[in-house]
Amino acid sequence: MIVLDHICLQYKGSTRNILNDIELILPDKGLVMIVGPSGSGKSSLLHVIAQFIKPSKGRMYFYTQDVTDLKGKELDEYHRNIGFVFQNYNLIPYLNVEENICLSRNICFLNEILEALGLAKYKKKKVNRLSGGECQRVAVARTITSDSKILLCDEPTGALDVKTGNELMKLLHSIAQDKLVIVVTHNKEHAKKFGDRIITLEDGCIIKDTDPNPMCSFDHPFSEQRKTCSLFKIVNIVKNNLVYKWKRNVLAIVAFSIGLLTLLFVLGISSGFKEAILLEEKNSLSEYPLYISKDSQDLNTEIKQIFKTKKVHENSIEVKEGFHENKLTNAFIKELASLETYTHTIDFTFFYDEVCLKQIGTSSFFDEQVEVLKGSKETKEDELLLLVNQDNTIPLEYIHFLGLKKGNYSYDDFLNRKVNIGKKTYKIIGLVKGKEDSYYQDVVGLMTKQKTKINKKPIEVYIYPKDYESKQFILKHLKNYPDIFFTDYSETIKNVTTTIIDGIRIVLLIFSFVSLFVTMFMIAIITYIAVIERMHEIGLLRSLGYSKSAIKLIFYLENGIVSSIAFLVSFIILSGLKYPLNHLLFQLIGMDSIFKLDQHTLLLVFSFSILISMMGSFIPIRKIKKMSIIDTLKYE
């Protein structure tokens, strides 16, 4: 039963009442016909009963429930109790006949209804390929099969021929034996022939009612209907619309893929390069020496400062920390000796009379790293080796120390030459130089292979780890001496390289993000156009009891699927280019497997693509929340 209590309706911005003080009691069953000339308020009255429009004044009751001010979920629940046949059909064009009819609920006797309305052969046909009369029958079928208490029909026979119109009215009359059916029509013959009650409107007022005081029952509560918007139906709507507008979606996928391709490429190069550097550190760089000197400076900090623009403060002077002085105590030197099993060698450098004397830690390792130019490389306690540069040169200070003058000398000029270091006399018994790519290729000086006691503290120590694990053990050991600063050459090389790569990566990421944010605005525009194009569809779904959240979910799912496909396309393209890219990069920089797409990177980019699509959809989809059902149904 429906009760309209002094209902008035006035549209916003208008001074004329569409409905004037309507008082009406409608029973829980029967066929009520509403007639009247065009503009008399027939459809508006139907929209008020359906709660598509809120009345300006008055109250409306559904059984004992006041439904005038219902909102949100309660209003959606009311719409599930109402079935509505629209004058302009309001079918979803990309769904077939069966899917349009079953939008409100799954029908077990669907075939019987289709046969009765002559739609059986069109069951799987898209409704955009049907005639006007066939579309009207589909709209009627959708309404009469709904599990609703009231059927509201706005000109249901308007697009039907006489025979089909009569058959439809007979069907509505039979349905009215068990529930209330309200029909707005211009056809007075149908009203007289099939109507149990005829209400005549004129200028928004009831001028005639054949049964103003019907027998009504108050036993029916406001019943909760089964939810219309099942996830299966939402997914079906999404799937069909994506296929229906495939050209637009392909363009969106291509545009989105370009941004994702750039981002995946940059992150793939970045993660692969970091792995390559770590692998290089373990395999090769870990054997680079740890360097400890009397005066030490943090090279890593200095290198980082090179890539930073430092602001100069005028009229002020900043105090900068200088070199740190390492105290190479006997205890520390003794501690280093215990690490020899983890090293190729530990070399000490002592300073005498403006020249350096190097003491080789492990003779066999040194022998493998150098080649003999003249003489022997086997030394006794009072014998030295002269180590020269790769290009057979030595610094001038060594020439002066050996008592020679500037010029060119033969090997024999140095061989067997005596050298006074401290209080002891040594003899040079061999000339050697470091092999190419060896640890000693750039080392110059006088060297002894004998572990003789030297009454001086070293000014430099070179520790050459055997491998990566050994280096980690040595580093852990050195942490016991926090006052000893050292330089890790492999770490320095790695930091320089990664700093440069990080700079390049940031620049490329900026371009990638700019591209993706442009894509986000494109998605926003596409979504806005889609919302505008589908206003009638949105109104239809709302009238069937679909919540605003469910309708927003449709648009979010569509954009989420587009972004997911764009990500998949980008991944497939880069997977196909992986081997050519790595081959090209190997030719350019000599490092293998630089480009890698690990799970972390893929998950990050996929999540970001979904986030971008959701951000682009948010504002356009909010338009749905702000519009009433009647606004969407009448949107032009």
User: What pLDDT sits at residue 243?
Assistant: 92
Q: What is the DSSP string of 523-588?
A: HHHHHHHHHHHTHHHHHHHHHTT--HHHHHHHHHHHHHHHHHHHHHHHHHHHHHHHHHHHHHHHHH
Question: From CA 162, how far away is CA 175, in angstroms rounded?
Answer: 20
144-177 pLDDT, tens digit each: 887 788 999 998 888 778 888 888 899 889 989 9
pLDDT-derived band at 184, boundaries 50, 70, 90: very high
Rounded to 10 deg, the angle between the 72-79 and 535-543 helix axes is 80
252 pLDDT higher than 70: yes
User: Does the pLDDT value for residue 304 go beyond 60?
Assistant: no
**pLDDT above 60 (res 225):** no
Percent of the chain at pLDDT > 70 equals 91
Average of per-residue pLDDT across 312-324: 63
Mean pLDDT (whole number) for 69-91: 87
pLDDT tens-digit series, residues 14-64: 778 899 999 999 998 899 999 999 889 999 999 999 999 999 999 999 888
In whole angstroms, what is the distance from residue 172 CA to residue 195 CA? Answer: 10
Q: Who wins on pLDDT, 223 or 130?
A: 130
CATH annotation of 2-227: 3.40.50.300
Q: What per-residue confidence (pLDDT) applies to 298?
A: 57
Burial of 21 (0-12, 13-18, 19+ CB in 10 A): middle
Phi and psi at 349, nearest 5°, equal: -120, 130
- For the chain, the structural domain boundaries read 2-227, 242-279+496-633, 327-484
- The whole-angstrom separation of Cα 386 and Cα 333 is 25
Q: What is the pLDDT of residues 447-484, one digit of tens each?
A: 888 776 666 788 888 888 888 888 888 888 888 888 88
Q: Which of 197-206, 295-304, 500-509 has the largest mean confidence?
A: 197-206
What pLDDT was estimated at residue 41?
A: 92
Q: Binning pLDDT at 50, 70 and 90, where does residue 67 land?
A: very high
Give the three-state DSSP class for 16: coil
Residue 123: band (very low, low, confident or very high) from pLDDT cuts 50, 70, 90: very high
Q: Which of 193-202, 278-287, 335-344, 350-359 has the lowest mean pLDDT?
A: 278-287
Arithmetic mean of pLDDT, 238-265: 90
When mean pLDDT is compared across 210-219, 408-417, 418-427, 598-607, the lowest value belongs to: 210-219
pLDDT value of position 431: 94
More confident residue, 130 or 215: 130
Average pLDDT, the chain: 84
Is the predicted pLDDT of residue 218 greater than 70, yes or no?
A: no
Q: What is the pLDDT of residue 569?
A: 94
pLDDT at 533 over 80: yes
Answer yes or no: is pLDDT of 270 > 80: no
Residue 489, judged by CB atoms within 10 A of its CB (0-12, 13-18, 19+), counts as middle
The pLDDT tens digits of the residues spanning 406-457 come to: 888 899 999 999 988 877 888 999 999 999 888 888 889 898 887 766 667 8
The predicted pLDDT at position 285 comes to 65
State the pLDDT at residue 22. 93
CA distance 220 to 61: 12
DSSP state for residue 65 in the 8-state scheme? E
pLDDT at 318 over 70: no
pLDDT-based confidence at 306, cuts 50/70/90?
Answer: low
What tokens does 54 get? Answer: 């809120």
What is the pLDDT, as a whole number, of residue 475?
A: 87
Percent of the chain exceeding pLDDT 90 equals: 27
What pTM did the predictor assign?
Answer: 0.69
For residue 467, what pLDDT is reported?
84
